[in-house]
Amino acid sequence: MTLARHGRAPSLRAEPFVGPSPRRLVAFVVVMVSCLFAHRAEAESSRARTIVLESVVGERSANMTATLAPLIDALEGYGFAARPATIQSVLGPRVARPGVLDQGKTTADIAQQIEAGLSAFSSGRFQESEDALTIAVKLIKRNPGLWVLSGSNANLTFNAVVKLALAQGKNGHVPESFETMMDYLRMSNIPISRLDYGRDGEKLYKGAQKQAQPMGRGTLLINVSDNRAVVFVEGQFRGIGKVAQGDLIPGLRHMFVQVGPDARQYVVEIRPDSETTVDIDWQVDSSLTLGESYAGVAFANEIERAKEGIYARGVARACGCEKIIMVGTIRLDGHLEVIGTVYPVNGAAPWSATVPVSEGERGLRSLARFLYDGTSRGDLNVRSNAPGARAPKQMQRPHLSVSSTIVLGAGVAAVGGGIGTYVLSKDDDHTMPTFNDHKGPAVDVVIASSPVLATGIYLSLRDTTSASRLASAALGLGATSLVLGSFLFFTDQDGAARLEPDKYVREYYRDSATSGLVIGAAGVALTGVGAWLWYRGGDRKSNATTLTAASEHGRTLGSLVPAVSVGPALRLLSVSGSF
- Classify residue 213 by its DSSP letter: G
* CA proximity to 332, closest of 385, 389, 393, 392: 385
Cis bond before residue 344 (omega within 30° of 0) = no
CB 147 within 8 A of CB 158: no
Residue 320 CA to residue 322 CA, distance in Å, equals 7
Domain 218-280 in CATH 3.50.50.60? The answer is no
CB 142 within 8 A of CB 101: yes
Which CATH number is 49-95+291-395's, of 3.10.290, 3.30.70, 3.40.50, 2.60.40?
A: 3.40.50
CA distances from 343 to 56, 164, 289, 314 (A): 16, 47, 18, 10
- Report pLDDT for 15: 43
- Report pLDDT for 466: 67
- Helix (H), strand (E), coil (C) string for 89-148: HHHCCCCCEECCCCCCCCHHHHHHHHHHHHHHHHCCCHHHHHHHHHHHHHHHHHCHHHHC
Fold of 107-214: 1.25.40
CB 28 within 8 A of CB 451: yes
Considering the entire predicted model, what is its pTM? Answer: 0.54
Residue 386 CA to residue 393 CA, distance in Å, equals 17
352 strand-pairing partners: 341
Beta carbons within 10 angstroms of residue 394's beta carbon: 9
- Classify residue 186 by its DSSP letter: H
CB 428 within 8 A of CB 437: yes
- Helix (H), strand (E), coil (C) string for 350-408: CEEEEEECCEHHHHHHHHHHHHHHCCCCCCCEECCCCCCCCCCHHHCCCCCCHHHHHHH
- Classify residue 212 by its DSSP letter: H
204-212 own/partner pairs: CB under 8 Å, 24+ apart: 204/165, 204/166, 204/169, 204/177, 204/178, 205/162, 205/181, 207/178, 207/181, 208/178, 208/181, 208/182, 208/184, 209/185, 211/178, 211/182, 212/182, 212/185, 212/249
- Report pLDDT for 577: 37
CB 144 within 8 A of CB 253: no
- Report pLDDT for 5: 35
Same fold, 107-214 and 218-280: no
Could you read off the pLDDT tens digit of each residue along the chain, which spans 579 residues?
A: 333 333 333 443 334 444 444 444 444 444 444 544 444 444 444 344 788 998 888 888 888 888 898 999 999 888 888 888 888 887 776 678 889 988 889 999 999 999 999 999 999 999 999 999 999 999 999 999 999 887 778 889 999 999 999 999 999 999 999 999 999 999 988 888 888 889 999 999 999 999 888 898 999 999 999 999 999 999 889 999 999 999 999 999 999 999 998 899 999 999 999 999 999 888 878 877 777 778 888 787 877 777 788 778 777 776 777 888 999 888 887 788 999 998 888 777 888 889 998 888 888 998 988 888 887 777 788 874 333 434 444 444 456 778 888 888 888 998 888 888 888 877 766 655 666 667 778 888 888 888 989 898 998 888 777 677 888 888 889 899 989 888 888 887 765 555 555 555 555 567 778 888 899 899 899 988 888 887 765 433 333 333 333 333 333 333 333 333 333 333 333 333 333
CA distances from 480 to 24, 29, 440, 550 (A): 19, 15, 20, 31
Based on the number of CB atoms within 10 Å of its own CB, is 361 exposed (0-12), middle (13-18) or buried (19 or more)? buried
- Report pLDDT for 267: 92
Q: Structural domain boundaries of the chain? A: 22-43+400-577, 49-95+291-395, 107-214, 218-280
